[in-house]
Amino acid sequence: MKVTESLKSGRKVFSFEFYPPKTEADAKRLFDAARELKTLSPDFVSVTNSSAGTLPYRTVALSGILKNEIGLEVVAHLTCLAHTRAEIIEIAYGLKKMGIENVLALRGDRENVVGEPPGDYKYASQLTADIAADGWFSVGGACYPEKHPEAATLEEDIAHLREKTAAGASYLITQLFFDNSLYFGFLEKTAAAGVSVPILPGLMPITGYRQIQKFTQLMNVSVPAELRAGIERWDGDKDGMFKFSVEYASRQAEELLKGGAPGLHLYTLNRSRAAMEILRNVRGGALK
């Protein structure tokens, strides 16, 4: 099923994100997690774009395994900076043969491109237009409630989002965030700018102090005082950190859904336990 159809159903949409594993041990952990998460009947899972995974499990092949062997609906990430238009056409053909109908069209990070980019694409909106014109895929895009790190202002970033949706992106998934007011404020700004597609919030439970430092430094993600205090309190206590992190993310998820978010997209880091507990808390109303 296409993601756009799920979003038009009127019910809340739930999804998980995986990345291609780099070793056989990583692959086993991923597939174990995928099978466990399947028991929660997610609407889809997404697979990040990477050529660094161990060969049988790079993005396109992994997407096919998750869909055809495990039975999950898949959104395959495509990045344009690293590919020519001809390569994108070939990748899209491979996805079609596997029955995959959903793509997340992204620009990609410049630092992950070896050498100079091929030059056929500069922006995600250009890739979005090509994929959408094919007619087979439901195309989504990424967005940043605290703006893309390379954008001068949030307003400039939203202007690019408007171009992306005009090119054919029919929904957006946010970068992770920890302050819900940023998401709701972002919705107001995008709506005022004419961006009318559904915007799924992306959430990730924190596993340690080092991880939060990475997010704040590399992704320009702000950390509320409550979250920072909890991380500092439980740093070094694995069980305490897990419980605090899941409870924080569950409260955040519940508030987002009550506030009108069309669903939730959970970044799993290829593990299932935290994502399963968060979704069970939300669906079961355990925190009400």
Residues labelled as active-site residues = 17
| Contact predicate 139/167, CB 8 Å | no
Contacts of 136 (CB under 8 A, 6+ apart): 92, 96, 101
DSSP per-residue letters across 45-78: EEE---S-S-GGGSHHHHHHHHHHTS---EEEEE
The β-bridge partners of 142 are 173
Query: Residue 102 and residue 77: Cα distance in Å, rounded?
Result: 9
Query: Residue 15 and residue 44: Cα distance in Å, rounded?
Result: 5
Query: Residue 78 and residue 51: Cα distance in Å, rounded?
Result: 11
The β-bridge partners of 74 are 45
Q: How far is CA 17 from CA 7, 114, 210, 273, in A?
A: 17, 25, 21, 14
Longest dimension (CA), the chain: 52
- SS3 of 160-197: the string is HHHHHHHHCCCEEEEEECCCHHHHHHHHHHHHHCCCCC
Two tokens at 50? 């990477």
The β-bridge partners of 253 are none
